[in-house]
Amino acid sequence: MFVIRIPRYWRSKGFRYRLEGYRCEKCGHFHHSPRLVCRKCGSRSIRRDRLSQTGRLISYTVVKSSTPLFEQYVPYVVGVVKMVDGSLVVGQVTDCDPEELREDMQVEVTLRKIRVDGENKLIQYGYKFRPVIE
Protein backbone atom coordinates (compact mmCIF):
# COMPACT_ATOMS: atom_id res chain seq x y z
CA MET A 1 0.00 0.00 0.00
CA PHE A 2 2.98 2.28 0.26
CA VAL A 3 4.42 0.96 -2.99
CA ILE A 4 2.85 -0.33 -6.19
CA ARG A 5 3.36 -4.04 -6.74
CA ILE A 6 4.11 -4.33 -10.43
CA PRO A 7 2.68 -7.82 -11.14
CA ARG A 8 -0.53 -6.87 -9.38
CA TYR A 9 -0.80 -3.65 -11.33
CA TRP A 10 -0.10 -5.51 -14.55
CA ARG A 11 -2.81 -8.11 -13.86
CA SER A 12 -5.45 -5.42 -13.62
CA LYS A 13 -4.46 -3.62 -16.82
CA GLY A 14 -7.68 -4.52 -18.63
CA PHE A 15 -9.77 -2.42 -16.30
CA ARG A 16 -7.11 0.22 -15.74
CA TYR A 17 -6.52 0.91 -19.44
CA ARG A 18 -9.86 0.12 -21.05
CA LEU A 19 -12.49 -0.31 -18.33
CA GLU A 20 -12.60 -3.91 -19.42
CA GLY A 21 -14.11 -6.28 -16.92
CA TYR A 22 -16.37 -9.27 -16.49
CA ARG A 23 -20.13 -9.33 -16.95
CA CYS A 24 -22.55 -11.93 -15.69
CA GLU A 25 -24.36 -13.57 -18.60
CA LYS A 26 -27.35 -14.30 -16.44
CA CYS A 27 -28.11 -11.05 -14.60
CA GLY A 28 -25.88 -8.59 -16.49
CA HIS A 29 -23.97 -7.41 -13.43
CA PHE A 30 -20.51 -5.98 -14.16
CA HIS A 31 -17.33 -6.74 -12.18
CA HIS A 32 -14.09 -4.82 -12.60
CA SER A 33 -11.90 -7.86 -11.93
CA PRO A 34 -11.98 -11.51 -13.04
CA ARG A 35 -14.64 -13.57 -11.27
CA LEU A 36 -15.52 -17.21 -11.07
CA VAL A 37 -18.94 -16.44 -9.63
CA CYS A 38 -21.23 -13.43 -10.14
CA ARG A 39 -21.24 -11.55 -6.85
CA LYS A 40 -24.83 -10.52 -7.38
CA CYS A 41 -26.71 -13.64 -8.55
CA GLY A 42 -24.22 -16.45 -7.99
CA SER A 43 -24.13 -17.54 -11.63
CA ARG A 44 -20.89 -18.99 -13.01
CA SER A 45 -21.46 -17.77 -16.55
CA ILE A 46 -19.19 -14.78 -16.87
CA ARG A 47 -17.81 -13.18 -20.01
CA ARG A 48 -15.39 -10.38 -20.69
CA ASP A 49 -16.95 -7.06 -21.49
CA ARG A 50 -16.15 -3.37 -21.60
CA LEU A 51 -17.95 -0.51 -19.96
CA SER A 52 -19.18 2.41 -22.04
CA GLN A 53 -16.70 5.20 -22.70
CA THR A 54 -18.97 7.91 -21.39
CA GLY A 55 -21.03 8.40 -18.28
CA ARG A 56 -22.57 10.92 -15.90
CA LEU A 57 -20.78 12.35 -12.85
CA ILE A 58 -22.96 11.69 -9.82
CA SER A 59 -20.64 12.80 -7.00
CA TYR A 60 -17.17 14.30 -6.66
CA THR A 61 -14.68 15.58 -4.14
CA VAL A 62 -11.49 17.62 -4.17
CA VAL A 63 -8.92 15.57 -2.27
CA LYS A 64 -6.74 17.77 -0.05
CA SER A 65 -5.11 15.14 2.18
CA SER A 66 -3.80 12.02 0.59
CA THR A 67 -2.02 8.72 1.01
CA PRO A 68 1.76 8.46 0.45
CA LEU A 69 1.31 7.33 -3.17
CA PHE A 70 -0.60 10.46 -4.17
CA GLU A 71 0.80 13.11 -1.83
CA GLN A 72 2.59 14.97 -4.60
CA TYR A 73 -0.61 15.33 -6.64
CA VAL A 74 -2.93 17.04 -4.15
CA PRO A 75 -5.29 18.71 -4.66
CA TYR A 76 -6.94 16.43 -7.20
CA VAL A 77 -10.50 15.45 -7.98
CA VAL A 78 -12.07 12.05 -7.43
CA GLY A 79 -15.55 11.38 -8.76
CA VAL A 80 -18.17 8.67 -9.10
CA VAL A 81 -19.42 8.12 -12.63
CA LYS A 82 -22.59 6.31 -13.61
CA MET A 83 -21.83 4.44 -16.81
CA VAL A 84 -24.41 3.68 -19.51
CA ASP A 85 -25.15 0.21 -18.08
CA GLY A 86 -25.74 1.69 -14.60
CA SER A 87 -22.41 0.55 -13.11
CA LEU A 88 -20.70 3.11 -10.88
CA VAL A 89 -16.99 3.70 -11.38
CA VAL A 90 -14.78 5.75 -9.06
CA GLY A 91 -11.93 7.58 -10.72
CA GLN A 92 -10.00 10.81 -10.92
CA VAL A 93 -11.53 13.65 -12.93
CA THR A 94 -9.11 15.67 -15.03
CA ASP A 95 -9.02 18.57 -17.55
CA CYS A 96 -11.44 20.50 -15.42
CA ASP A 97 -11.21 23.15 -12.68
CA PRO A 98 -12.92 22.04 -9.50
CA GLU A 99 -15.25 25.05 -9.77
CA GLU A 100 -16.53 23.76 -13.10
CA LEU A 101 -17.58 20.42 -11.68
CA ARG A 102 -21.32 19.79 -11.67
CA GLU A 103 -23.36 16.79 -10.72
CA ASP A 104 -24.87 15.14 -13.80
CA MET A 105 -22.19 16.49 -16.13
CA GLN A 106 -21.25 14.16 -18.98
CA VAL A 107 -17.74 12.74 -18.78
CA GLU A 108 -15.70 10.43 -20.96
CA VAL A 109 -12.92 7.96 -20.26
CA THR A 110 -9.38 8.96 -21.09
CA LEU A 111 -6.05 7.16 -20.61
CA ARG A 112 -3.74 9.23 -18.44
CA LYS A 113 -0.71 9.09 -16.24
CA ILE A 114 -1.90 8.11 -12.78
CA ARG A 115 1.40 8.58 -11.00
CA VAL A 116 5.15 8.15 -11.25
CA ASP A 117 6.51 5.50 -8.96
CA GLY A 118 9.65 5.35 -6.89
CA GLU A 119 13.27 5.92 -7.75
CA ASN A 120 13.02 4.32 -11.17
CA LYS A 121 10.31 6.79 -12.18
CA LEU A 122 8.08 4.06 -13.50
CA ILE A 123 5.04 5.71 -15.04
CA GLN A 124 1.72 4.16 -14.21
CA TYR A 125 -1.11 4.77 -16.60
CA GLY A 126 -4.78 4.28 -16.09
CA TYR A 127 -8.24 5.66 -16.76
CA LYS A 128 -9.43 9.06 -15.68
CA PHE A 129 -12.58 10.93 -16.58
CA ARG A 130 -12.79 14.28 -18.33
CA PRO A 131 -15.75 16.47 -19.25
CA VAL A 132 -17.33 15.85 -22.66
CA ILE A 133 -17.06 19.01 -24.73
CA GLU A 134 -20.40 19.56 -26.43
Partner 1 sequence: MQKVYIAGYGLTKVGEHWDKSLETLMAESALKALDYTGLSRVDEICVSNVYGEVLQEQLVLGSVLAEELGVSGVPAVRVEAGAASGAAAIRYAVNAIQSGITNVVLVCGGEKLTDGTQEESLSLLSMDERYEVAGEIGSHFFSTAALLYRMYMRRYDVKQDGIASFSVISHENASTVQHAQYPFKIGLENVLNSPYVAEPLHRLETTAQADGAAALVLCSENIARKLDSPKVLVSGIHLATDFPNPFDREDPLHIQSLAASTSSLLSMRGISRGEVSFIELFDAASILAALSLESSGFIPRGKSGEAAMSGRLSLNGELPINTFGGLKARGHPVGATPIYQVAEAYLQLTRQAGKNQLDNVRFGLVESLAGFGSSSVSILLEEV
Binding-site size, partner 1 (CB under 8 A): 38
Concatenated DSSP letters of 14-79? HHHHH-EEEEETTT--EESS--SS-TTT----EEEEE--SEEEEEEEEEE-S--GGGGGG-SEEEE
Q: Is 96 in the site for partner 1 (CB under 8 A)?
A: no
Closer residue to partner 1 (CB): 40 or 44: 40
Q: Which of 92, 60, 90 shows the shortest CA–CA distance to 76?
A: 92
Instruction: Name which position in 7, 10, 39, 97 contacts partner 1 (CB under 8 A).
Output: 39
Closer residue to partner 1 (CB): 28 or 69: 69
Q: Is 72 in the site for partner 1 (CB under 8 A)?
A: no
Q: Which 8-state DSSP code applies to residue 5?
A: -
Binding site for partner 1 (CB under 8 A): 1-2, 4, 8-9, 12, 15, 32-33, 39, 58-71, 73, 76, 78-80, 88-92, 103, 114-115, 126
